[in-house]
Each structure stands twice: as C-alpha cells, then as structure tokens.
Structure 1
C-alpha cells in the first residue's frame, strides 16, 4: 500500500453532553468518526443504529449525512433518537474543537473527512455503499494518531497538512490491515489487496492511463485466462477493467485540466483519447460538464488564470 495517498484531511474533536445531538453535514468525501471516551449512537439514513464507544471507528460513505447521539445518564441512546437537549449542524474541520449541549460530557470523539486514493487513480471508498464499523484496542493507539493529526491541523504550522495526511494514512492502513482478518462484509471492497495479479494490472493502468489496453493483453500480462481475469477483476472492483480504466483516465484528465498546463487537445491525448470529440463526450458523461468548463471552474476556485487559458477560452467561445 505504498501507493496510498491521503489528502483533504479535515478533523475536529467533538464533545457531546448528555442527550445532545451532533448533525454532521454531507461531504463529497467519506467522513470518519473515532470514539475517544464515553458512548453514543451514530445514525445514518437507511442504516441500523451504530453503537459508538471508545476505540470504535465508523467510516461513512461520501454524500451521506450522519447524526451522533449522546445518551441520557439514566437511559439508553435510544431515548434521544427523537430529539435532545442540544442539537448542532457541523462541518468537520471548521473548528479544532466543537462542544454540543450543556452539562457533563458523555461522549468525546474525532469527526473528520478525507480523500484516499490508491495507485494515483482508485478512490478506495468511492463505491462504498454502507458504513464501515470496526472496534480496535487501546494498544492499537489509533486514538493517539487521531489526536496528533488534529494537533497538526490546529497548529497551522508549515507542513501541518502533509503531516496530518500522513498520520491519517497510518490509521487507514490499520483499517486495511484489519480487512485481512475481519469477518465484516465491508472487507470485500478491498479484495484487490489479496489478489496480486489483479493489483498489478490495476497498477499498470493507474500509472499510465493513456496506454492502449485490451482485456486480452492485460490477462496475458498477469498470467490469467481472459475469463478468469474478467471474473477476478470484477470481484475486486465491482466493474469491468475498461470501466475502471475510463475512470482512471477521467481522473487523470481532471488533474491535467486543473493544473492548467496543457491544451485540451493535449489533455485528451495524455488521457488515452485519439480525438478531442471522443474525449469531450466521455468527460461530459463522467463529470456532467465539458472539459473547458471544468477548467474554468477550477481556475475560478484557485483564483489563477494563465495566458494560455485565456487564449484557449477565446478559441472555444
């Protein structure tokens, strides 16, 4: 897993008083919740209640909201499902510490979001449909990792972002290592880690998305029959090799467009497309917008525009 990259880390320490609720906003990336002390319940729409206690890690799919519920002292967390003495909407990372409710704290946890990419192309949690729940032990020291990562982010010192990302990578590696022994169904998402031939084929596509690949050539390169390769690839990724390749190419193209270093024709070529029209059709289907509009939006978000962008925009218009 040396190719695992973690970025866009947002973390906050949240403390809930008895009977309070923390409404965690939807995120474009997975949200992570790790219990430090006390107990509570995580509610995710369409899912059964998830019990959260010390050393329990809950990872919620992207674009899914969650509610953290703290129990009353003499009742269960169930009593608070219909409301509580405090409620607050919260976006992880908007503050280093967040307090909810009044009175004695009964639950303390880390709330955050992140992006995790394997081999420069595969979003490890992009197809995650249900929450991941795993309980670790104190000797795993994941609580210390989360605390150090939050300290780095809160310090706002040089290198704090990369340091927090490196720390969160350690936590995710612990989770992935757990996938090798856990009986929970979520581990099927990482079956590629246990299939070296399929991992090699994916790594080749991820390292050079512009390559002209065929299923026949890929299966031969890893020593599998075509049918075995297709079956094992689909089991690992939930989709065909060509579908994964298309996603890798689109991610690569999006990065080139955001970097604003080459023309759209060159982006198409570097992404494995022989014609700009074919590339544009695929990009529009994947991202819902044209490459030129995607680049313009990335430029607006960064507040940066080069002469080449202005010239290209004028030609497109």
Structure 2
C-alpha cells in the first residue's frame, strides 16, 4: 500500500541508534530476501566508444550498472571519477545523475547525443553510430520492496560498488533479462523481475563476506533488534503479532520499540504489518485456489468481513475481483 509515508522510507536514515557490534543473522536476511519483490522499470544497454561520453539525468529508481567489458570511468552525482573495469557492478541511488566516459582522441570526450538513443521493446540502447564500443554496460532500473511500502534501496545515499568475476554469471542474468524483454513472451515481467532479484541476492551474499558490509548502510539492517522483529513479521505476516509481542521479540520495551520502529519506517509496526498481510493475501489469491476464508486466515484475519474491508482499502477492489483479474493477466496495483 503506497503512501506519502513510503517516500520517507528509513533504509537510509541516519538518526537511528543501532545495536552496536551485533550483525544481522543469515537467517534473518534470508527471511527478508524471500519476501523481496522486484519491479523492473527499464533495462538499458550503454555502448561508449573511445573518446566519447554519455550523460544521464535523474531517474526515480535505483539502477544496477554492470560493466560487461571495456575500461573507462564513471562519475556519480558530479563526484570523483570511478574506474570502470569488466564485471564491476555499481548500484546508483535513485534520483542521482551519472556520466560515463572513455578516453581517447580529443578532450573532453564527445557527448553521445540523445538523438542516438533508441528504444525497442522496453530496452533503451545508448550508442554512438558507426563506432566500435569500448565500454559495454547493461543497466537495470528497478524498485525492490518488502511488502507494499518498504523500499530496500529507496533511500540509498551512496553508490554500492562490487567487483564480480565471470564465474558469478551476473552478465548472463542481465543478458537473459534483456532477451526476455526483446522476445516479449508470456510471463516476461515475472522473468525479468526474477533475474534482477537473483542479482540483488548475489549482492547481499557478497556483502556478508566483505570486510565492508554495505548492507549495514541501511538503518533497518544496522539496528539489529528492530531487524529481528521485522524479519519475523516478514516471515510470518499472518501470525498473531502485536506491538507487545514484537517488542518482546526485539528485546525492547514497548515504548522504545515503537519509537525506534516508527523512526526507521516512518509508519507504526501495525501499519507495516497490514501491508505485509495484504501482500501475503494478494500472493495467495494469484497463485492458489484457496477459498477467501482460508486466504483471510493465512493473512492473520479471523473475520472474513474485516479482511475484505482491509483488502479493499489496499487494492480498491474485493479479493474475488482481484483473483478474477489476475487470472486474466491483469495484476492490480495497491493504492
């Protein structure tokens, strides 16, 4: 359920007092990753020859930039140049301009004008005509969310930079996502989202092995006690959670838990729990033949009528209407 509060997501907030010296466990991260939803906004192929540069303005979504081959450099938000090499992956924060250039010939490098940008079946191709590219990069712009209102990278302030190897097969996943868009077969959205989710999970795995865990830039992952409670909510949205039980899970008093949770998410625990329960219900309606009563119970509602009211507020339609629409290939968005 998107709301104005969602734009204040706290994965990047800095005024949370984290649990010092205690990391998020693998089990908790695994629960969060299982519940992660990816919405692919666009895929872009960037080809930059020697002596050229390309400039991008702001895009209201984070971007995964994977350098397939070639050597050049990138500047993010006017910052210092970062060397580009094969299999370097960078996540550029949302609403952040960037520039890629390759040296060679006259200086400054020649700008690839927007007249040379072409689009086909959802793929934007940026290339200088009749020039052999030095840099070949695939970019995926996406939103990653837990439930309807928790955006994983929504408040990322600094780029995430990781060096991968050919054996990690990140390039193959991105190429497969591009092929999916070009072929436009049934299920193209689900396939491209699944491929980008695999890349995000690969990044989280890499972070756990790194001496500089970039996941802990997000305050939800830095605050170990809140993460413990939130991971339980994500893993079991239909359980009989209450503020008291969640505070106990976090090892905090009720008032401390409410303050820290609301400071991180911009919403109360029960508001976030409703979002997670509606996500669970929508998934059950799309993928199972369960009765509405059973879907309601799985989402933590003993009363069918109260579940229907909550679902209607979230999706602006009854659960039975939602199920009929998804069977026709129409997936209504939350409101």
For the pair 1:101 / 2:134, whether they are aligned, the reply is: no
Q: Tell me, what secondary structure is at the counterpart of 1:301?
A: coil
For the pair 1:296 / 2:296, whether they are aligned, the reply is: no
Aligned residue in 2 for 1:308: none
- CA distance in 1 between counterparts of 2:90 and 2:145 reads 20
Flag structure 1 segments of 5+ consecutive residues without an equivalent: 43-47, 304-317
For the pair 1:58 / 2:91, whether they are aligned, the reply is: yes
Flag structure 2 segments of 5+ consecutive residues without an equivalent: 1-28, 181-190
Deviation at 1:131, TM superposition (A): 5.8
Correspondent of 1:88 among 97, 118, 123: 118
Deviation at 1:262, TM superposition (A): 1.5
Distance 1:52 1:101, change over 3 A: farther
Deviation per residue, 1:170-206 (Å, 9 max, x gap): 2243357769656xxx9543x3333333222223222
Deviation per residue, 1:19-48 (Å, 9 max, x gap): 575879979x85311335323456xxxxx4
Aligned residue in 1 for 2:170: 146
TM-score (norm 2): 0.62
Q: Tell me, what secondary structure is at the counterpart of 1:224?
A: coil
Correspondent of 1:287 among 304, 315, 324: 315
TM-score (norm 1): 0.65
For the pair 1:197 / 2:221, whether they are aligned, the reply is: no
Q: Tell me, what secondary structure is at the counterpart of 2:159?
A: strand
- CA distance in 1 between counterparts of 2:295 and 2:277 reads 10
Distance 1:91 1:104, change over 3 A: same
Distance 1:124 1:49, change over 3 A: farther
Give the RMSD, CA atoms, in angstroms: 4.4
Aligned residue in 2 for 1:134: 160
For the pair 1:38 / 2:78, whether they are aligned, the reply is: no
Match runs of 1:203-218 below 5 Å:
203-218=231-246
Given that residues 25 and 90 in structure 1 are in contact (C-alpha distance below 8 angstroms), is that contact kept between their aligned partners in structure 2?
no
Match runs of 1:1-317 below 5 Å:
1-3=29-31, 4-5=33-34, 14-17=46-49, 19=52, 21=54, 30-36=62-68, 37-40=71-74, 48-49=77-78, 53-54=83-84, 55=88, 57-61=90-94, 70=101, 73=104, 74-76=106-108, 80=111, 83=113, 86-89=116-119, 100-102=127-129, 103-113=131-141, 125-126=151-152, 128-129=154-155, 132-136=158-162, 138=163, 141=165, 144-150=168-174, 166=198, 168-175=200-207, 188-189=217-218, 191-301=219-329
Number of equivalences: 279
Q: Tell me, what secondary structure is at the counterpart of 1:218?
A: helix
Deviation at 1:87, TM superposition (A): 1.8
Given that residues 64 and 141 in structure 2 are in contact (C-alpha distance below 8 angstroms), is that contact kept between their aligned partners in structure 1?
yes
